[in-house]
Amino acid sequence: MKIGKKIRHLRIKNGLTQEELADRSELSKGFISQLERDLTSPSIATLVDILECLGTNLKEFFSEENNEKICFSSDDYFVTNNEELKNNVHWIVPNSQKNKMEPIIVHLEKGGKTLKEDPHEGEEFGYVFQGSIYLNLGSRKIRVKKGECFYFSPIVDHYIENTSNSIDAQVLWISTPPNF
């Protein structure tokens, strides 16, 4: 195992520069640089300090097992139905609320809509696979048709609706941070 390469990967994943990691772990930038290039080895105590700064520990760091699931199928989806609002929501990535974004597929029956969401931090993206919808952003109402997408900062109340009397709508909707 290349300890330096793995430390570099964790540092970048955490959005830290070598200098920031050095400051947090009370080491020099030169030492972090040499460590990442496997030119030096840390003591156990120093490695523990570095890993703590990177949000992990010795056990996780040296574990070769990667149980993170990457590919999901319909068997993994969690589906909720709201008969009153005439929609069903497919959470297509289980436990995605622990991630930086949360994708869902929203199926809106004729006349269906989603719950109104309050303003929050982050960004939202949607792609209409079927039908057309209205994206309601505060007092604005924007039509989004099949093959089109929307992208906005959710600084006002927002929801989508299908005002069609003849065709259902289906939308891939992604929120960051997770909000659904």
What 3 state SS string does 66-85 have?
A: CCCCCCCCHHHCEEEEECCC
Residue 178 has pLDDT above 90, yes or no: no
Q: In this structure, what CATH number is given to the domain that contains residue 153?
A: 2.60.120.10
Answer with the one of 62, 88, 113 that is the final residue of a domain. 62
Answer with the one of 24, 42, 62 that is the final residue of a domain. 62
Q: What is the pLDDT of residues 119-150, one digit of tens each?
A: 999 999 999 999 999 999 999 999 999 999 99
Q: What are phi and psi of 36, to 5 degrees?
A: -65, -25
Asked, for residue 8, whether it belongs to a domain, the answer is yes
Q: How far apart are CA 71 and CA 68, in angstroms?
A: 10
Q: How far apart are CA 147 and CA 166, in angstroms?
A: 18
Q: How many CB atoms lie within 10 A of CB 108?
A: 26
HSE, CB side, 13 Å, CA atoms: give it for residue 10. 23
Residue 106 has pLDDT above 80, yes or no: yes
Q: In this structure, what CATH number is given to the domain that contains residue 13?
A: 1.10.260.40
Based on the fold, state whether residues 39 and 118 are members of the same structural domain.
no
Based on the fold, state whether residues 85 and 106 are members of the same structural domain.
yes
Based on the fold, state whether residues 123 and 162 are members of the same structural domain.
yes
Based on the fold, state whether residues 42 and 83 are members of the same structural domain.
no
> Helix 3-13 to helix 29-36 angle, to the nearest 10 degrees?
120
Q: What is the pLDDT of residues 27-47, one digit of tens each?
A: 999 999 999 999 999 999 999
Domain that holds residue 150: 74-176
Q: How many CB atoms lie within 10 A of CB 143?
A: 11
Based on the fold, state whether residues 121 and 166 are members of the same structural domain.
yes
Q: What is the pLDDT of residues 56-79, one digit of tens each?
A: 999 888 887 666 778 999 888 989
**H or E stretch at 6:** helix 3-13
Based on the fold, state whether residues 84 and 155 are members of the same structural domain.
yes
Based on the fold, state whether residues 99 and 16 are members of the same structural domain.
no
> Cα dihedral sign for 129, 179, 89, 71?
positive
Asked, for residue 55, whether it belongs to a domain, the answer is yes
Asked, for residue 68, whether it belongs to a domain, the answer is no
The number of distinct structural domains making up the chain is 2
Written in H, E and C, the secondary structure of 9-61 is HHHHHCCCCHHHHHHHCCCCHHHHHHHHCCCCCCCHHHHHHHHHHCCCCHHHH
Asked, for residue 67, whether it belongs to a domain, the answer is no
Q: How far apart are CA 162 and CA 113, in angstroms?
A: 6
Based on the fold, state whether residues 47 and 109 are members of the same structural domain.
no
Residue 180 has pLDDT above 80, yes or no: no
